[in-house]
Amino acid sequence: MSHKRNPQSLLTPAMRDVLHAIAKAGRPPIAMLTPAQAKQGYALGAGVLEINAQKMARDDTLHIPTRDGATLRAKLWAEHAHPNLPVLLYFHGGGFTVGSPETHEVLCKHLAHLAQCAVMALDYRLAPEHTFPTAHNDAVDALQWLAAQASSLGLDATRIAIGGDSAGGTLTAATAIAARDAGIDLQLQLMFYPGCSPDHMPSAHSFEKGFLLEKTSIDYFYSHYMPNPSERHDPRFSPLLADVTGVAPAWLGLAECDPLVDEGVAYADHLRLAGVPVDLEIYKGVVHSFIQMGRVIPEALTAHADAARALRHAFGL
């Protein structure tokens, strides 16, 4: 994408107000915090700008075994206790370092409500305690477990989608590739502003500072997840480097004023060149993480509705 010389002028008035309020609060940049402080701060701040959570008939805690003998927690939400529900396996954002199903609970419940499906949010292991490719392996293990256990959970094993935001979008892209290789027939891969490239693209410089997610924050997160920078060229982290022929159809929702926006556009093009059906939406005047600001940013609710529409279409609803 081409970017204006004064990118601040792109922001919507509501988005500008949110960024001003955040700056006025005077919190230290995340790159100045220890990982433990970052985790705590992110958890405390989650939900501040969210809509009210939808009420769910199902609110289950699941336990998923991994290839290395660990057990992962996941939350399963559904508005109705109907049998044979389609399901979205969701990977939360947070730079592979912060976040949990609870930080994305409102979003997941809203998608479950709008798409009339179940949503399973995975509590994958985080950096710096667990470095690359642990999060990726956890995501793939959770999908394989879900595909095998769906019927016993009252879910439809023939209607599984995966999705996520930011780092969770990266996990979604890489897991869709692993699903193709494993013969798991996904109905959709749904990604909000994923990271896809081993290197910064032009938007990382256009929106380097002052747009919530900053370039230094991206480097902070990646350095914890990938202490060895050469690993950034692994396709499990940079799906732009992967062969994506035959992966599931994709829906991407990007923020115009986001350091990662060019990576999302490039990945949409990469998928299309491989013959993969792609739906791409770029929400004007908003920043990274806007989908969790539904109380004050109208574009968040639009993005929720668009994503849910894509899910319903993929599930045949």
Annotated active-site positions, please?
A: 166, 258, 288
- Rounded distance, CA 205 to CA 203, Å? 5
Is 163 in contact with 190 (CB distance < 8 Å)?
A: yes
The dihedral through the CA atoms of 131, 111, 287, 254 has a sign that is positive
Q: Where are the alpha helices (DSSP H) in the chain?
A: 13-25, 35-45, 105-115, 134-149, 167-182, 202-206, 215-225, 261-273, 298-315
Q: Which tokens sit at 204?
A: 């990382």
Residue count of the chain, please give it. 317
Q: How far, CA to CA in Å, does 123 sit from each of 64, 119, 271? A: 10, 13, 28
If phi > 0 it is left, if psi is from -120 to 50 it is alpha, else beta; for residue 119 that is beta
If phi > 0 it is left, if psi is from -120 to 50 it is alpha, else beta; for residue 265 that is alpha
Number of Cα atoms under 13 Å in the Cβ half of residue 63: 3
Which amino acid would we find at residue 92?
H
Strands 118-123 and 155-165 come out as: unpaired
Is 243 in contact with 236 (CB distance < 8 Å)?
A: no
Is 132 in contact with 205 (CB distance < 8 Å)?
A: no
Which amino acid would we find at residue 247?
V
Q: Which tokens sit at 20?
A: 């001003």
The dihedral through the CA atoms of 218, 282, 190, 174 has a sign that is negative
Whose structure tokens read 């990007």? Answer: 254
